[in-house]
Structure 1
């Protein structure tokens, strides 16, 4: 993805990934689209479990897919959900993303597709890493 269009492409991919969510308990469907330095795109959706602690967020699904494909340099992620307001990554996801992209951009997306852009370091101040 090149130029300014990458943001719209990332948002569209996150919205599409949201449709793959498995959320029978909360009804909150989240999709994520992760962009790597190499220009590869990885998507993920939240997968709930009756034992809530075993639920995995869309952001971590996308991150795990990227890492297991050999990509470890993240540039940006878009996170979309099926609710009003902006969908921010949880603290656990912020820490996982920081491991592979402390300078990455985070696009938080409303159900309508409107988004705002944040720096990951602003969302996770005083993070720790390698």
Structure 2
């Protein structure tokens, strides 16, 4: 299954009763395994979980810590990009050159970027040296 298909499939499971904005994410780990996540809202905003965070949690729970590709999809008129927090979460587990594709269920438009393009000047473990 492609990352796009996996993200689109899990998006349908999103729990978004407040915003009605369902998001799905699929990430490919270094092993080639695909992990998915969907947004899970909570009435006590902002206590929900983003789709990207859910996919990362599934990857880490399976014992993997390196991602090599990301796909995010939402039912919006233009592709949706990961929020700032998720950009940092993705950068924790992926190198700057990791491709991130953002798509929409509304049409075939896709945006293609790398993690470095999404999060220039990312805070990383090198900043913690000597701490």
Structure 1 residues 80 and 128, CA gap change in structure 2 (3 angstroms): same
Distance 1:61 1:119 in 2: 20
Paired residue for 2:99, among 96, 105, 113? 105
Distance 1:48 1:113 in 2: 27
Distance 2:4 2:58 in 1: 18
- Asked whether the equivalents of residues 11 and 113 of structure 1 are also in contact (C-alpha less than 8 Å), the reply is no
Residue matched to 1:122: 117
Please identify the structure whose Cα radius of gyration is greater: 2
TM-score for the superposition, normalised by structure 1: 0.90
Deviation at 1:115, TM superposition (A): 1.7
TM-score for the superposition, normalised by structure 2: 0.90
- Unaligned runs of 5+ residues in structure 2 are 126-131
Residue matched to 1:17: 10
Distance 1:69 1:113 in 2: 32
Segments of 4+ in structure 1 off by > 6 A? none
